[in-house]
Amino acid sequence: MDSKVKKYYLSRAFLGLLGYFIGSAIFTLMGGSRGFYRLLASFAFSGILFLLSELISAKRNPVLKHEVEIEEKDERGKNIQGKAGVFTFTCMLVVYFIIMFVGAFFENTLISMGAAGLVLTQLIIFLVSTFYWRSKL
Amino acid sequence: MKNRLKEIRNVKGIKQEDLADILHVSRQTISSLENGKYNPSIQLAFKIARYFDMHIEEIFLYEEETDGQ
């Protein structure tokens, strides 16, 4: 990945995060209560900031936008994403199993059952998506 | 799978960046192909062959593994 494209992705991630905190701060300063609506405001502000930066970037530097598009459609990039996805899936299963056993060890049913639920959900999604892609490919 | 992409590209005097732009892939993909780190999809192999006006077999050299795979 070129350094300009890397900078692009890093700046978007940073702006998304910044927007989240600004949104949260504005909502609290305006007297909003904690909870779901604050989260909604944070995500909304994050999305607005992200979209604005996308629009400005597309106008200012169309070449970079083109490079990002190529990067996103690049077959090697997709291959890498697939491999990283499989690795992440396996790692998450291991992490959930560890949490499950830690929960069981400390006799915390909520944690162990929660982790077991996540393992089950992840496996169900995996099986359904495998079935879907088998019918498609 | 080995390939002669670097050799052919150099003969034609095309930069990696330019070839990547023509094929709509990243420069890193071209670099990885040339270094033999990445094998292209059949679609990309055809695109490369068409661009250089050659047959796929002239660019990509398929070699069977020792265990017959």
**pLDDT tops 70 at residue A112:** yes
What ipTM does the predicted assembly reach? 0.81
pTM score, whole prediction: 0.71
Q: What is the mean pLDDT of chain A?
A: 87
Q: pLDDT tens-digit profile of B10-45?
A: 999 999 999 998 999 999 999 999 999 999 999 999
Q: Which of A19, A45, A73 is the last residue of a domain?
A: A73
Contacts of A37 (CB under 8 A, 6+ apart): A27
For A63, the closest chain B residue by CA position comes to B21
Q: Are strands B60-61 and B2-3 parallel, antiparallel or unpaired?
A: antiparallel
Q: Do the chains contact at A79 and B38, CB–CB below 8 Å?
A: yes
- For chain A, which residues lie within 8 Å of any Cβ of chain B, measuring from their own Cβ? 1-2, 70-71, 73-77, 79
What are residue B53's phi and psi, to 5 degrees?
Answer: 55, 50
Q: Is the CATH code 1.20.120.530 the one for domain B2-53?
A: no
Please report residues of A whose CB lies closer than 8 A to that of B40.
75
In this prediction, residue A5 carries a pLDDT of 77
**pLDDT tops 80 at residue A98:** yes
Contacts of B58 (CB under 8 A, 6+ apart): B4, B49
A12 lies in the same domain as A35: yes
**pLDDT tops 70 at residue A44:** yes
**pLDDT tops 70 at residue B67:** no
SS3 B65: coil
Domain boundaries, chain B: 2-53
- In this complex, is the C-beta atom of B25 within 8 Å of any C-beta atom belonging to chain A? yes
Tell me the β-bridge partners of B61. Answer: B2
Chain centroid to CA A52: how far?
20
Q: Which of A73, A89, A111 is the last residue of a domain?
A: A73
- In this complex, is the C-beta atom of B35 within 8 Å of any C-beta atom belonging to chain A? no
Provide mean pLDDT across the span A93-103. Answer: 93
